[in-house]
A and B are shown apart, each in its own frame.
Chain A
Amino acid sequence: MSILANKDTRVVIQGGAAGVNAARRMAEFCYLVKRPLNVEAFVYPPDAGKTNEIPYGSGLIAIPIYKTIAEATKNHPTINTSLVYIGADRAMKGGMEALDDSHIKVVSMITEGVPEKDAKLLGAHARKLGKVFNGPSSIGIISAGACRLGVIGGAFDNLVLSKLYREGSFGVITKSGGLSNEIIWICSQFADGITTAIGIGGDAYPGTDYVSYLEMFENDQQTKAVVIVGEMGGDLEERAAEWYGAKKRRVKLIGVVSGFCQESLPKGMKFGHAGAKEGMKGEGSARSKSDALKKSGAIVPPTFGALGPAIKDAYQELLKSGQVKEPVEPAVLPRLPKSIEEAMKADEVMVAPLIRTTISDDRGDEPCYDGYPASELINKGYEIPHVIGLLWDKRLISKQEAEIIKRIMMLSADHGPCVSGAYATILAACAGIGLSQAVAAGLIMIGPRFGGAVTDAGRWFKYAVDNKMNVDEFLAYMKKNVGPVPGIGHRVKSLRNPDKRVKELVGYVKSLNIKTPCLDFALQVEQVTAVKKDNLILNVDGTMAAVLVDLGFPVDSLNGFFILSRTIGLIGHWVDQKRQDSRLIRLFDYLVNYAAPKRREVPPLK
Chain B
Amino acid sequence: MAKVLEGPGMGLMKKWGIHVPHYVVVTSADELSKLGQVNDWMKQTKLVAKAHEALGSRFKLGLVKVGLDLNGAVAATKEMIGRQVGSITVSQVIISEMVPHKEEYYCAVKSTREGAEILVANCGGIEVESNWERVKRLCLDVGQTPSPEQLEKLAKDAGFTGSVAKRMTDFAGKMFTCFDSEDAQYLEVNPVVTRESDGELVALDAVTLLDGDAKFRHPDWNFQFAAEFGRAYSKDEVEVMAVDSKIKGSVKFIEIPGGDTAMLPAGGGASVYYSDAVVARGGKLANYAEYSGDPPDWAVEVLTEKVCSLPGIKNIIVGGAIANFTDVKKTFGGIINGFRKAKGGGKLKGVKIWVRRGGPREKEGLDAMRLLKDEGFDIHVFDRNTPLTDIVDKALQK
Contacts and interface: CB of A to CB of B under 8 A. Distances in A.
B389 A154 contact: no
B254 A304 contact: no
Interface in B13-35: none
Given A152-B324, A154-B324, A158-B322, A116 B387 contact: no
A277 B323 contact: no
A181 B322 contact: yes
B358 interface: yes
Given A229-B269, A271-B275, A305-B387, 18 more contacts: A114-B213, A120-B113, A120-B114, A121-B142, A154-B324, A176-B321, A178-B266, A181-B358, A182-B388, A256-B273, A258-B269, A258-B273, A268-B229, A268-B230, A272-B269, A272-B272, A280-B110, A305-B389
Interface stretch (A259-267, A391-399, A594-602): A259-267
B77 interface: no
Contacts of B272: 231-232, 258-259, 261, 271-272, 276
A458 interface: no
Nearest to A190: B387
B228 interface: yes
B256 interface: yes
Interface of B: 1, 110-111, 113-115, 141-143, 180, 183, 185-186, 211, 213-214, 216-217, 228-230, 254, 256, 266-273, 275-280, 285, 288, 290, 292-293, 320-326, 358-361, 384, 387-390, 393
Closest 4 CB pairs of A and B: A176-B269, A178-B267, A182-B321, A268-B229
B324 A181 contact: yes
Nearest to B217: A89
Contact of B271 (A116, A205, A271): A271
A117 B323 contact: no
Contact of B268 (A124, A155, A158, A272): A272
21 contacts: A88-B213, A116-B183, A121-B143, A139-B324, A158-B358, A175-B269, A177-B267, A178-B321, A178-B326, A179-B273, A181-B358, A181-B359, A204-B111, A229-B269, A232-B272, A234-B113, A260-B279, A264-B285, A267-B230, A272-B272, A273-B269
Given A154-B323, A179-B269, A185-B322, A116 B277 contact: no
Contacts, number: 188
A155 to B, nearest CB: 4
A256 B389 CA distance: 13
A304 B276 contact: yes
A94 interface: no
Nearest to A235: B113
Contacts of A379: none
Contacts of A181: 321-324, 358-359
Nearest to A239: B113
A434 interface: no
Contacts of A124: 114-115, 141-143
Contacts of A234: 113
B75 to A, nearest CB: 32
Given A139-B324, A155-B360, A89 B277 contact: no
Interface of A: 21, 25, 88-89, 112-118, 120-121, 123-124, 139-140, 151-155, 158, 161, 174-182, 185-186, 202, 204-205, 229, 231-232, 234-235, 256, 258-261, 263-274, 276-277, 280, 286, 302-305, 308
Contacts of B285: 261, 264-265
B217 A178 contact: no
Contacts of B228: 268, 270
Contacts of B113: 120, 205, 234-235
Contacts of B270: 176, 178-179, 182
Contacts of A256: 273
B392 to A, nearest CB: 8
Contact of A305 (B230, B361, B388): B388
Given A88-B216, A117-B183, A303-B389, A182 B322 contact: yes
A266 B269 contact: no
B213 A113 contact: yes
Nearest to B179: A117
B211 A116 contact: yes
A48 to B, nearest CB: 24
Contacts of A229: 269
